[in-house]
């Protein structure tokens, strides 16, 4: 039997940006369908084991919260489960929210179930039919076969700009920033020196003693809440494509390196002597791949000067530029600090598309700006804005920026 689904707004991708887009669109009055290819929501928080929500706050001693709205509802849900009380300082001095993927999966399930949004897990968009800059319908696949989705407006929150690329929107592929396969180790001693400098010294000692095949020596180790487990973020590989052959190669290499680093830590990082590997990923975490070419490209100067857009700003960015460039140490630019910048609405709109909005790390940005806005809390903010814009715009491409900003404020977002 042929399956045809219809809605006002279809959101592709159920990570931070997608969940926020779906809830934002629903709360603005739209009938929404949220599509996610994994068997759970959360994106890289749950599928790539990124252990922290970064970007809820500016950094420094005089920090301020810059993301609320749907993002705050996620924090409130985690708080109700005993998984969030306050923001935490990372080993690099930034403020973040530790998260455990299993609790986050449940929190997001409950949030989406309570929201009034329609949703489907375990399905993937495989084709977008476009005419005259308008997406007409999506063809999706699940284990039962194919089905179509027709909407007035669409949101791409896929993380890789998959919908934008399928629809013929202008996109650019970048791999300057490396991907990482995060892994978790148990039975680690507390109270030891797990600073990036100490980790680097351990890897360098392993190399000096003849171990080979490491992709980087800079990394971070963070304790998982209320456990003897630590998550390790150190593997660093620039992934030059999104095709299956390329991803297969780098996923397998990532798993090889997980075991290599685990053994090196047991030998050379005090506190890990009796540690064991629990799991990795499951998927490589991507810091960048495709980004749209939008009506405006957020740039380094926007971040560096904490530029404000009083008429078009729809989200705030509080995370400084953070570049992971292959095997080199992480580069924190002069853009770090306690101030925030505005993200203007045209960054969320691909050139030439009439009924497509984008949220998350795929929005239009140059390398430096992208290294800031890619973090997941900022994804909640841009995703919610994309959802509200989709709900309040028309399939012909018309939209009212002031109305979108007013609705975001009504929903508790910070703009």
Give Dmax (Cα) for the chain: 64
The four Cα atoms 336, 349, 27, 39 give a dihedral, to 10 degrees, of -80
Helix, strand or coil, per DSSP, at residue 4:
strand
pLDDT exceeds cutoff 80 at 167: yes
pTM of the model: 0.96
Residue 162: left if φ>0, alpha if ψ -120 to 50, beta else—which one? alpha
Q: Is there a contact between 121 and 40 (Cβ–Cβ < 8 Å)?
A: yes
Return the residue matching tokens 């009504």: 410
Q: What is the pLDDT of residue 377?
A: 99
Q: Where does the pLDDT of residue 158 fall: very low under 50, low under 70, confident under 90, or very high at 90 and above?
A: very high
User: With bands split at pLDDT 50, 70 and 90, how would you rate the model's confidence at 89?
Assistant: confident
Q: Determine how β-strand 124-131 pairs with β-strand 134-142.
A: antiparallel
Quick one: pLDDT at residue 173?
98
Evaluate whether 157 touches 359 at the Cβ level (below 8 Å). yes
| Superfamily of domain 3-174+289-410, CATH level 4 | FAD/NAD(P)-binding domain (3.50.50.60)
Confidence of residue 329 (pLDDT cuts 50, 70, 90): low
Q: What is the distance in angstroms between the CA of the first residue and the CA of the last residue of the chain? A: 46
> Could you tell me the two tokens for 33?
């369908």
| Angular region, 16: left φ>0, alpha ψ -120 to 50, beta rest | alpha
Confidence (pLDDT) at 225? 86
pLDDT band at 90; cut points 50, 70, 90: confident
Q: Please list, in sequence order, all residues whose beta carbon lies within 8 angstroms of the beta carbon of residue 395, skipping any fewer than 6 positions away.
A: 134, 152, 153, 354, 355
Q: Where are the domains of the chain?
A: 3-174+289-410, 183-280
167-176, 318-327, 383-392: least confidently modelled range:
318-327
* Strand-strand pairing, 118-120 and 32-35: parallel
Dump the DSSP string for 213-264: --S-S--EEEEPTTSS-EEEE---B-----SHHHHHHHHHHHHHHHHHHHHH
Q: Are strands 3-12 and 32-35 parallel, antiparallel or unpaired?
A: parallel
| 2: confidence class by pLDDT, cuts 50, 70, 90 | confident
Q: 163: alpha, beta or left, given left = phi > 0 and alpha = psi -120 to 50? A: alpha
The answer on pLDDT for 336 being more than 60 is: no
- For 340-370, what is each residue's pLDDT tens digit? 999 999 999 999 999 999 999 999 999 999 9
Residues 6+ positions from 142 with CB-CB distance below 8 Å: 120, 122, 123, 124
The pLDDT of residue 266 is 99
Of residues 65 and 339, more confidence is placed in 65
Q: Is the model's pLDDT at 334 over the cut of 60?
A: no
Distance CA 12, CA 83 (A): 28
The runs of H, that is alpha helices, within 66-182 are: 70-80, 101-115, 162-166
Question: What's the pLDDT score for residue 59?
Answer: 86
pLDDT at 219 > cutoff 70? yes
Question: What's the mean pLDDT in 150-155?
Answer: 98
**Strand-by-strand arrangement of the 52-54 sheet:** 52-54, 95-98, 88-89
pLDDT at 335 over 60: no
């Amino acid at each position: 039997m042929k399956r045809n689904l219809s809605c006002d707004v279809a959101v592709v991708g159920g990570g931070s940006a997608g969940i926020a887009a779906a809830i934002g669109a629903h709360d603005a009055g739209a009938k929404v369908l949220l599509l996610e290819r994994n068997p759970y929501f959360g994106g890289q928080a749950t599928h790539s084991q990124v252990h922290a929500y970064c970007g809820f706050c500016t950094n420094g001693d005089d920090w301020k919260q810059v993301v609320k709205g749907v993002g705050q509802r996620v924090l409130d849900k985690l708080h109700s489960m005993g998984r969030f009380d306050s923001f935490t300082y990372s080993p690099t001095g930034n403020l973040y929210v530790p998260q455990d993927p299993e609790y986050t999966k449940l929190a997001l399930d409950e949030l989406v179930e309570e929201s009034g949004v329609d949703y489907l897990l375990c399905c993937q968009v495989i084709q977008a039919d476009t005419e005259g800059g308008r997406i007409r319908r999506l063809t999706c696949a699940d284990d039962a076969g194919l089905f179509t989705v027709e909407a007035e407006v669409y949101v791409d929150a896929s993380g890789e700009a998959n919908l934008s690329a399928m629809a013929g929107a202008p996109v650019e592929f970048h791999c300057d920033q490396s991907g990482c396969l995060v892994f978790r180790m148990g039975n680690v001693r507390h109270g030891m020196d797990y600073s990036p400098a100490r980790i680097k010294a351990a890897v360098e000692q392993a190399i000096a003693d003849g171990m080979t095949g490491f992709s980087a020596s800079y990394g971070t180790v963070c304790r998982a809440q209320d456990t003897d487990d630590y998550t390790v973020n150190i593997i660093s590989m620039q992934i030059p494509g999104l095709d299956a052959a390329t991803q297969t190669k780098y996923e397998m290499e990532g798993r090889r390196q997980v075991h290599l680093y685990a053994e090196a830590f047991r030998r050379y990082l005090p506190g890990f002597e009796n540690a064991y590997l629990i799991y990795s990923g499951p998927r490589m975490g991507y810091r960048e791949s495709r980004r749209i070419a939008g009506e405006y490209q957020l740039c380094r100067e926007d971040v560096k000067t904490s530029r404000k857009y009083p008429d078009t700003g729809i989200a705030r960015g509080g995370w400084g530029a953070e570049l992971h460039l292959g095997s080199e140490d992480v580069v924190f630019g002069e853009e770090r600090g306690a101030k925030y910048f505005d993200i203007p609405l045209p960054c969320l709109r691909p050139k030439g598309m009439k009924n497509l909005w984008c949220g998350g790390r795929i929005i239009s940005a140059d390398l430096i700006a992208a290294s800031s806005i890619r973090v997941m809390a900022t994804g909640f903010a841009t995703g919610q804005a994309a959802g509200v814009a989709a709900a309040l715009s028309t399939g012909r491409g018309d939209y009212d920026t002031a109305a979108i900003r007013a609705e975001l404020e009504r929903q508790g977002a910070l703009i």
